[in-house]
Chain A
Amino acid sequence: MGGYLADMAELLGSYNLIGAFWVNIQLTFWSALFAFIIGTVLAVMRVSPAPSLRWAGATYVNLVRNTPLTLIILACSLGLWGQLGVILATNEAGRVDITSNSFRLAVLGLSAYTAAFVCESLRSGVNTVPAGQAEAARAIGLGFGQSMRMIILPQAIRGAIAPLGNTLIALAKNTTVAQAAGVVQAASVMATMIEFRPDLMVAIFLVIALGWVIIVLPIGLVSTYLSRRLGVAR
């Protein structure tokens, strides 16, 4: 048993596991940022009064939501880069910087995918506001801008916290799929470690799984806390 633990410690020492998880965290951060921007635009389109924008937003969401993420990431690396020659990162010599290019393509795929779910989270937030609130705002003489700013949006944003938190958790876990674009992160390091020491397989899995619990748990706790604290009781 002591030998097993010593072996495991030595194995962990020879692989940069923290660095691998750091890649997942960076993927999560950038994808969350872009997904939030694209998702907000999509949500505005979906609730706008112009039918063509509503239709375009709905089509995007329905197509993307029903496509596997692996396919989208693969389409980014194999299709956009491999076939269509889209390059997102070059080094000083003007050549493709493969590591950051793969990273950015993965961010592109993750953002495009997650944006559809961000859009639906925001829209469900708007849907939590009963129509009577808008009518009441109008009845006491508030204009469109005022009732938006003071009555509707504050409630809509609070209603969106819980689904946005779920979306963020799913995004964090989905960063492992960047594997399909060849981005080296926790999933690939786990595979390499197991290939090197199959006898330590279970311990390796548990360490990696623990890493995910450490990343995912705080997001869940914070979003539950915020949605309870700020949520509007109905």
Chain B
Amino acid sequence: MSSVLFDAPGPRTRRRIAVVNVVGALVVLGVLAWVIWGLAQKGQLTAAKWNPFLTETVWADYLLVGLWNTLRAALIAIVTANAFGLLFGLGRLSQSRLVRGVCGTVVEFFRAVPVLIMMIFFWQLFSYVPGPWMAAPPFYGVVFGLTLYNGSVIAELVRSGVQNLPRGQREAALAIGLTRSKSLRLVEVPQALIAMMPSMVSQLVVILKDTALGYIITYSELLRSARLVGSTFANYVPALIVAAVIFIVINYTLTWLAELLARRLSKRTAGGTRPAELTPADAGE
């Protein structure tokens, strides 16, 4: 491995690294064994706790229903968040100072407020204000919270996507006689969107993870149905482990897809296509 931190190792260092490697592996295995032993001691590894996951009911009546609710909220939110993000991202690039100011305030506001706070607010709003949403306030709470928060993050992606393009792109567009707005619409935004694509796929991971906040506002998503399995079959710990595995498999696949896209698309834009690094709640600029 080439790193700024290390010289190419000589024979003595290689021996030392080998020793550290073996000791490290033993420590890791030790920790794993301790966790498994602990779970076994508490009777968490018995067949009775795990067999329910081999039955059809647990999947058909609980986990798949929850997974569907998770995916449904996430898919709708990604569409609405992208619409919101595109609108306000372009607003922040507007030539009018007023539009820029308003869009900037909206975006900064929704980025500063925790998603859960927004979800709780909309959940309660939709249970008091009459309308079609009264049938499912938790669902609308989740979708609105996710849309406003992730839409604001995407707005920043749009803005930084356009601003990261080389200046020559706009200069060339203006030179061949396009107006500012035409240059934006025909030359800059399409490239920025392609440059953003990997970051947007990473943002999907954030949205999918954040649907689990719906658990707190009683939306019956995957985590809530896993908890229901736990209370029905008295196997909370295995149920949470299974839910975690499902989340990890889906998100890991999406992350992999983001990297694949970044490699595939890099030739189609003058801006970079590296997917944004995930931070705990958002994929920042």
Residues of A within 8 A of B (CB): 45, 47-53, 56, 62-63, 65-71, 74-75, 78-79, 82-85, 113-114, 117, 120-121, 124, 126, 129-131, 133-134, 138, 144, 148, 152, 163, 166-167, 170-171, 173-174, 176-177, 179-180, 186-187, 190-191, 194-195, 198, 201, 205, 208-209, 212-213, 216-217
**A-contact bits for B12-42, CB 8 A (1 contact / 0 none):** 0100010011101100100000000011001
CA distance A51 to B252 in the complex (A): 22
- A52 contacts which of B4, B21, B251 (Cβ < 8 Å)? B21
A176 touches B114 (CB 8 A): yes
B280 on the A face (CB < 8 A): yes
- B20 contacts which of A53, A117, A186, A195 (Cβ < 8 Å)? A53
Closest to B217 in A: A191
B240 touches A70 (CB 8 A): no
Note all chain B residues with C-beta closer than 8 A to A117: 278-280
Given contacts A71-B212, A174-B114, contact A134 B4 (CB under 8 A): yes
Residues of B within 8 A of A (CB): 1-7, 9, 13, 17, 20-22, 24-25, 28, 38-39, 42, 44, 109, 112-117, 120-121, 124-125, 128, 205, 209-213, 215-216, 223, 227, 230, 236-237, 240, 243-244, 247-248, 251-252, 255, 277-282, 284
- A74 contacts which of B3, B22, B240 (Cβ < 8 Å)? B240
Closest to B26 in A: A52
- A53 contacts which of B9, B21, B117 (Cβ < 8 Å)? B21
For the residues of B in contact with A, the DSSP-based class is helix
Given contacts A71-B223, A83-B44, A194-B121, contact A56 B28 (CB under 8 A): yes
Given contacts A66-B251, A130-B4, contact A50 B21 (CB under 8 A): yes
B5 touches A179 (CB 8 A): no
Note all chain B residues with C-beta closer than 8 A to A71: 212, 223, 240, 243-244, 247
A191 touches B124 (CB 8 A): yes
Note all chain B residues with C-beta closer than 8 A to A180: 215-216
Given contacts A67-B247, A67-B248, contact A176 B280 (CB under 8 A): no
